[in-house]
Structure 1
Amino acid sequence: MQTHTVTTPFGRRSMTLGMIASQVTAQTAPEGATVHKWHVFRDIKEARMALGATDRALAILDALLSFHPETAFYGDSALIVWPSNEQLIGRANGMSPATLRRHLANLVDCGLVVRRDSPNGKRYARKGQGGEIEQAYGFDLSPIVARAVEFKELAEAVRAEKKAYKVVKERLTICRRDIAKMIETGIEEGVPGNWGTVHVEYQAIISRLPRTAPRQVLEEVAAELDDLWTQIRDVLESFVKSQNLNANESQTERHIQNSNTESKTESERGLGIKREASGSAGETDNLRSLPKRELPLGIVLDACPNLLWLVKDGGGIRNWRDFLATTDLARPVLGISPSAWEDAKVAMGEQQAAITLAAIYQRTDQIKSPGGYLRNLTERAKEGKFSTWPMIMALLRAKLDAAKAVGAGVTEAEGELGAAQRLDRTQKRLEVSDNLRKSIDKWDHKA
């Protein structure tokens, strides 16, 4: 049996109050307590960060536990092991002596083991006549029993925190995906709203996310995104309910705006989505006479074919998302500053600003300062005096006139039939209806 409990370290190592506290804790194991050493070691690994233990220190603790022959530890049993440094290095994957000493100190500081140093600093056990250990010097593993309940609670808390972190990360990912796609849907389906402003608000929220963020920060950002998600969804649902959907494709129009400017849902006011200039109460008489719907993408592309030059790999523009991405490429080509572009999207809406940019790009040889021109149109949009319809109508009129001039000026060598076919193909590609042609003629006369 042991005759004396050593409390001070050998050599130059100083004594600390933390060591005394660890030794006191090691002696307070519940009477009759029994633990499975590897189960407790698993809890210690889970709670490693909370305990302040290093991964190398846990490798050494694993080796120390393996030197004790019993799997079950009892509160009233001798739990001291006395392996040499060479033996520990062999079971700790061959780490260097200096590394071993440093991480042994870490185990002691964390209160996972207690030093029981001999008078000369060596580790050994003195046995009696019957082979019973009378005194042992080495590392006391009593904290494994005394703090087993604490280790288990810490491990459960760490596991709960990891689960909560994973849940909020999943919630954040789904919310970001939903918001991005709902904004895209609102733009492509022509839902009335200043979607540029909404997108700027969304970007402002997610820009606060650092590369590695604690769960509390993620919870705050997720809560803001949830609120934005709810408002966008309410706007989309209100728009869907306000439409009389028709299954007949020939009668379906995807870009209808409600011309009743006084009817605004609460969700639209809460989100800050405002109707475009073409539908506001402060429109001029000319703007009031324009169609109360969005410009179809096909007509915009026919009026602004130069934009297709920027499409990579010769691909086309199949939807509004492709159109918006292509106008983002055109902006630096025109020398328009990011601030001017952002102001235009806020004032006009992202889709209307993109159409305006495409029209400017089509007339780049006629506009000396695209940036200044866009800022001027932005100011007009803020006053409710701007619409993209006249710009597109003017470009279509110019294209039709050019096509007719080409058809009239074809030489006899080329043949009148070939010219007629080219003119016919051009007019079919434009797909201009009688009403649209009348609108073009009307705006042409007004200009």
Structure 2
Amino acid sequence: MNSANVATPFGRRAVTYAQLARQFASENINTEQSIDKWKLFRRICEARTVLGISDRSLAVLNALLSFYPKTELCEENGLIVFPSNEQLSLRAHGMSEQTLRRHLAALVDAGLILRKDSPNGKRYARKSRSGSISDAFGFSLSPLITRADEFEQIAETLAEERLQLQRLREKVSLCRRDIVKLIELLSENVDFERLEVLQGRYRVITSTIDRKTKAPQLSLILENLSEIRSDIAKLLENQLEIQKISVNAYQNERLIQSSESESYFENYDAVEKPNAQTSAVSPSREQRQASSPTSTTANPAEDRYDLQTVLKACPEIALYGPNGAVRSWIDLKTAANVVKTILSISQSAFEEAEKEIGPQATYTIIACILERSEHISSAGGYLRSLIKKKNSGNFSVRPMLMALLRSRMAGKSSTVPFLC
């Protein structure tokens, strides 16, 4: 440690331990070491956030480096630059003198340059008789050489973090896309309550994502989203197994068929429009229930239907879905909420229907009511009457739906039988 090389700032500026430590460190420069000043400057720009300097301060540093005559920073060529504030301001894009001084102080505090002030605070150089600079007063660039390895390491670390963050964002985006599309596929076969649970978990997790989300938070979010995607994949796998079993059962027992479904729809028509011919050919629903200990509506298989069947039988409901389309049961719920207001169905009747007969059945019934709205005087009262009939086992959604579908396919929507 050579105390003769210690320089204190001019004027009222006080010297600090940090400044002394940087001055002592700058004495250990390898005289043979040289670094490209512009490559080093790019590394400093990459490490700007860690070093705690602004882009305006970097503009001043760029101006200082432009006053260094050589491209390579080297102790042999001297490391002091001594531009006047006027010239420095011109190369710093016309920065005002007050702003220039503030950013020079910021560069000194960040340990990127050192002050070597003259007795009167001016910046100048003395030349020897041979024309070489013997002594100079201004700003020393020696910390750039002594901290070059540090800048390189910081820049590489930040580059790796940026790459890791980019990869995490890509994985999160792919996972979100998978979940949305798989839920849309799953909505056709899985009950609405289970879908709402999955979507609720998805919304809670994704609501915390923004542009400033860091890598640790993204890692946790990706883990939670992957868990949701795995749960959805298991449900879809179960659905595929169920479909395989159903297909195999149909193939193995294709000769043992029952006309129950067809007769059921006929009986539905017979109840609504009884006549002598149908009474003689097909028994009424009351007669079937009296002769059979189990009601036809008691069998869950007879009340199954998918979303596509609903949309084919009741195409008008699609106009009230998101963007004028219904692609899932969730979209059908949105459309049903709009239609119930149009049909003057009270919220209490809507909630009672969801509770008593289930969400999917409620939305399907509202779609059917919309198709026949011109023939129904009170949609809310009609919905409540269907709830009572459903609870007593005298009503099933599927026959109503299939009657609308058969009538639409036959082009006779005006004669669709309906419970009133």
Query: Quick one: which amino acid aligns to residue 412 of structure 2?
Result: T
1:358-415 CA-to-partner distances (Å, cap 9, x unmatched) read 4676779635599x97xxx8xx9xxxx899x824545776x79xx9xxxxxxxxxxxx
Q: 1:425 maps to what in 2?
A: 411
- Change in Cα spacing, 1:11 to 1:154, as seen in structure 2 (3 Å) is same
- Change in Cα spacing, 1:20 to 1:311, as seen in structure 2 (3 Å) is same
Q: How does 1:289-438 map to 2 (within 5 A)?
A: 289-291=299-301, 294-297=304-307, 299-301=309-311, 304=314, 307-308=317-318, 310=320, 317=326, 323-327=332-336, 329-330=338-339, 354-355=363-364, 358=367, 366=378, 368=380, 390-391=396-397, 393-394=399-400, 424-426=410-412
CA RMSD of aligned residues (A): 4.4
Q: 2:99 maps to what in 1?
A: 99
Query: Quick one: which amino acid aligns to residue 426 of structure 1?
Result: K
Q: How does 1:119-158 map to 2 (within 5 A)?
A: 119-158=119-158
1:312-361 CA-to-partner distances (Å, cap 9, x unmatched) read 89x66577675455335446666877xx98x969x957x55643664676
Query: How many aligned positions are there?
Result: 363
- Change in Cα spacing, 1:222 to 1:365, as seen in structure 2 (3 Å) is farther
Q: Which structure shows the bigger proportion of residues in helix conformation?
A: 2
Contact 1:7 1:116 in 2 (8 A): yes
| Larger deviation, residues 75-84 vs 221-230 | 75-84
**Structure whose alpha-carbon radius of gyration is higher:** 2
Partners of 1:335 and 1:427 lie apart in 2 by 23
Partners of 2:78 and 2:203 lie apart in 1 by 62
How far has the Cα of 1:216 moved from its partner?
1.4
Q: How does 1:182-261 map to 2 (within 5 A)?
A: 182-188=182-188, 190-191=189-190, 194-244=194-244
Partners of 1:312 and 1:126 lie apart in 2 by 79
- Change in Cα spacing, 1:134 to 1:427, as seen in structure 2 (3 Å) is same
Contact 1:359 1:392 in 2 (8 A): no
Q: Helix, strand or coil for the counterpart of 2:222?
A: helix
Query: Quick one: which amino acid aligns to residue 51 of structure 1?
Result: L
- Change in Cα spacing, 1:245 to 1:133, as seen in structure 2 (3 Å) is farther
Give the TM-score of the pair, scaled to structure 2. Answer: 0.71
- Change in Cα spacing, 1:328 to 1:30, as seen in structure 2 (3 Å) is farther
Contact 1:75 1:146 in 2 (8 A): no
- Change in Cα spacing, 1:316 to 1:181, as seen in structure 2 (3 Å) is closer
How far has the Cα of 1:109 moved from its partner?
1.1
- Change in Cα spacing, 1:331 to 1:154, as seen in structure 2 (3 Å) is farther
Give the TM-score of the pair, scaled to structure 1. Answer: 0.67
Q: 2:260 maps to what in 1?
A: none
Query: Quick one: which amino acid aligns to residue 106 of structure 1?
Result: A
How far has the Cα of 1:100 moved from its partner?
1.2
Partners of 2:358 and 2:85 lie apart in 1 by 74
Contact 1:191 1:236 in 2 (8 A): no
1:255-275 CA-to-partner distances (Å, cap 9, x unmatched) read xxxxxxxxxxxxxxxxxxxxx
Query: Quick one: which amino acid aligns to residue 182 of structure 2?
Result: M
- Change in Cα spacing, 1:298 to 1:125, as seen in structure 2 (3 Å) is closer
Contact 2:9 2:15 in 1 (8 A): yes
Query: Quick one: which amino acid aligns to residue 240 of structure 1?
Result: L
Q: Helix, strand or coil for the counterpart of 2:224?
A: helix
Q: 1:80 maps to what in 2?
A: 80
Contact 1:178 1:229 in 2 (8 A): yes
How far has the Cα of 1:218 moved from its partner?
1.4
**Gaps in structure 2 of 5+ consecutive residues:** 252-293
How far has the Cα of 1:297 moved from its partner?
3.4
Partners of 2:20 and 2:85 lie apart in 1 by 24
**Gaps in structure 1 of 5+ consecutive residues:** 252-283, 404-421, 431-436
Partners of 1:288 and 1:175 lie apart in 2 by 41
How far has the Cα of 1:311 moved from its partner?
5.7
- Change in Cα spacing, 1:335 to 1:429, as seen in structure 2 (3 Å) is closer
How far has the Cα of 1:48 moved from its partner?
0.5
- Change in Cα spacing, 1:311 to 1:153, as seen in structure 2 (3 Å) is closer
1:194-222 CA-to-partner distances (Å, cap 9, x unmatched) read 21211111111112224521221111111
- Change in Cα spacing, 1:386 to 1:332, as seen in structure 2 (3 Å) is farther
- Change in Cα spacing, 1:139 to 1:335, as seen in structure 2 (3 Å) is farther
Partners of 1:65 and 1:215 lie apart in 2 by 35
Partners of 1:64 and 1:87 lie apart in 2 by 10
Q: 2:27 maps to what in 1?
A: 27
Partners of 1:302 and 1:148 lie apart in 2 by 71
How far has the Cα of 1:288 moved from its partner?
4.0
Q: Helix, strand or coil for the counterpart of 1:291?
A: helix
- Change in Cα spacing, 1:236 to 1:96, as seen in structure 2 (3 Å) is same
How far has the Cα of 1:81 moved from its partner?
0.2
How far has the Cα of 1:174 moved from its partner?
0.7
- Change in Cα spacing, 1:146 to 1:77, as seen in structure 2 (3 Å) is farther
Query: Quick one: which amino acid aligns to residue 396 of structure 2?
Result: P
How far has the Cα of 1:291 moved from its partner?
2.1
